[in-house]
Amino acid sequence: MDSALPATQAKAEDASSSTRRETLSITDNRTGKVYEVPITHGTIRAVDLRQLRVDPADFGMISYDPAYNNTASCISRITYIDGDAGILRYRGYPIEELAEKSTYLETAYLLLHGELPTSAQLQDWHYHITHHTFIHESIKKFLDGFHYDAHPMGMLVSTIAALSTFYHDAKDVFNPASRKKQTYRLMGKMPTIAAFSYRHTLGMPFVYPDNELSYPGNFLNMLFRTSETRYRPNPTLEHALDILFILHADHEQNCSTNTIRGVGSSHVDPYCAAAAAIAALYGPLHGGANEEVLRMLNEIGTIQRVPEFIKRVKSGEMRLMGFGHRVYKNYDPRARIIKKIAYEVFDLMGKNPLLEIALECERIALEDDYFVKRKLYPNVDFYTGLIYQSMGFPMTMFPVLFAIPRMSGWLAQWEEMLLDPEQKIARPRQIYLGHDPRPYVAIDQRS
Ligand code: CMC
């Protein structure tokens, strides 16, 4: 994009022209100067503001946007969200259609390659991921070192980072063959490390991958197999897990995706960058929310106590976990699909007793002025916990179940960032309001 010029220098345009000018005029009232900056895709470049100076020594205007409320950090072609309309698409395909017709591995291929695979491409993709599910025996020893009650998310963060010490070729981030190899490894090993972390917390022996099973089927095998010679996943649960994986595969520039882009922008290997993303996901305001929803529903305990709880939320004492979203100001389309799957799982496993409490929270919140005014609707995490619990997962595994499929989205976004010629090492600016220069004070002279 051309750099903007003050209007005085800018090429004059015919004001009477019927062609709309894609520019923004800014008057700096400190100097009286008028500037014209280009608008592209409804956006101005923050760096174009730098020409607004009071005097030549002035650094120039910067924009202040804590938490990136109104700042685009990249151009992306992966995931589209219209938060007001409740729309989510991967590479142009509506999430509802993918959830109904695709599989997680096919969707992951789509996210990473931009197009749905042919059957030969899908077979090849499947083959390579399946053949990277085993982990080095030393990683098992590493996992054994964790305390018996370690949170599986903490184990996952550390073990994914530790993979960086095993695969030195991963440092070659601008080599497409290396990126492909690390993608197979990360996609293949995520379920294995997640399942091994879970088994470690139970003190149960690790179950090795069964490469004859589907991606979610093998994951269930590594989690739940006991003395059977061959584990056969229940098809309803296997299918439900596959859909949940599709729904969690990507979500444009959320906190953890922004993290993998930011950390990856230093050109560190993808294991370290992915570990950072998992750490970001772990937080209760992000992927840790599904675990918090279950804790909250348990704390509420009965339907009768829901109104009292909502009152506490409205007074600002706590948040209604699983509600609200930075981008969705409408029902999260993933929550709608998840609610449907919940009933399929409950039909098989029996209704989760916490469902009634969740439904009552939703009913009251959707009618209450506090939530309506702030456009707070159930998000993806509101019902997932109930499904996971009915499927036999302990609460600490919920964020892990979010992290496994999100790996495909993270890797797609990481690669897009690396290949974007406009991207550089992420480095925001600050507004410094600290002390002016002052002399060092010797310790015996400090009060
Ligand atoms: N319960 C009660 N009030 C809420 C909630 C909530 N869950 N979420 C937002 N608000 C209120 C908030 O107090 C504020 O009110 P006021 O204007 O009076 O100060 C207003 O709504 C706007 O909130 P915000 O914090 O400015 O919104 P945000 O866009 O920064 O936060 C959020 C988004 C998801 C962090 C937030 O809605 C939240 O904390 N939700 C609960 C945690 C949760 O469910 N997280 C999972 C998100 S979906 C999965 C994912 O992608 O990670």
What's the total number of domains in the chain?
1
Taking alpha carbons only, the member of 123, 95, 97 closest to residue 109 is 123
Does residue 68 sit within a domain? no
pLDDT score recorded for residue 4: 40
Does residue 385 sit within a domain? yes
Ligand 1 atom closest to residue 293's alpha carbon, by position in its atom list: 44
Does residue 31 sit within a domain? no
Q: Reduce the DSSP state of residue 90 to 3 states and report it.
A: strand
- pLDDT tens digit string along 283-328? 999 998 998 999 999 999 999 999 999 999 999 999 999 999 989 9
Cα of 285 vs centre of ligand 1, distance in Å, is: 8
Please tell me if the CB atom of residue 380 comes closer than 6 angstroms to any atom of ligand 1: yes
Please state, in angstroms and rounded to a whole number, the distance separating the CA atoms of residues 163 and 281. 19
Taking alpha carbons only, the member of 110, 48, 360 closest to residue 246 is 110
Please state, in angstroms and rounded to a whole number, the distance separating the CA atoms of residues 153 and 146. 12
32 Cβ contact list (under 8 Å, min separation 6): none
pLDDT score recorded for residue 33: 98
pLDDT score recorded for residue 10: 39
- pLDDT tens digit string along 20-42? 899 999 999 999 999 999 999 99
Please state, in angstroms and rounded to a whole number, the distance separating the CA atoms of residues 323 and 81. 17
Please tell me if the CB atom of residue 351 comes closer than 6 angstroms to any atom of ligand 1: no
CATH label of the domain that carries residue 409: 1.10.580.10
Ligand 1 atom closest to residue 316's alpha carbon, by position in its atom list: 13
- Torsion, Cα 218 224 228 233, to 10 degrees, reads -50
Does residue 426 sit within a domain? no
Cα of 377 vs centre of ligand 1, distance in Å, is: 10
Is 70 exceeded by the pLDDT of residue 12?
Answer: no
Please tell me if the CB atom of residue 248 comes closer than 6 angstroms to any atom of ligand 1: no
Does residue 338 sit within a domain? yes
Q: Reduce the DSSP state of residue 219 to 3 states and report it.
A: helix
Q: Which two tokens stand for residue 154?
A: 């903490």
- pLDDT tens digit string along 243-260? 999 999 999 999 999 999
Average pLDDT over all residues of the chain: 93
Please state, in angstroms and rounded to a whole number, the distance separating the CA atoms of residues 95 and 246. 8
Structural domain span for residue 416: 94-420
Cα of 369 vs centre of ligand 1, distance in Å, is: 15
- pLDDT tens digit string along 71-121? 999 999 999 999 999 999 999 999 999 999 999 999 999 999 999 999 999
200 Cβ contact list (under 8 Å, min separation 6): 143, 144, 146, 148, 150, 155, 206
Does residue 21 sit within a domain? no
13 — pLDDT class (breaks 50, 70, 90) = very low
- pLDDT tens digit string along 193-235? 999 999 999 999 999 999 999 999 999 999 999 999 899 999 9
Residue nearest to atom 36 of ligand 1 (CA): 324
Please state, in angstroms and rounded to a whole number, the distance separating the CA atoms of residues 191 and 223. 9
Is 90 exceeded by the pLDDT of residue 181?
Answer: yes
Q: Which of 250, 379, 382 to mutate to test the pocket of ligand 1 (most atoms within 8 A of CB)?
A: 379
Does residue 58 sit within a domain? no
Is 60 exceeded by the pLDDT of residue 8?
Answer: no
Does residue 54 sit within a domain? no
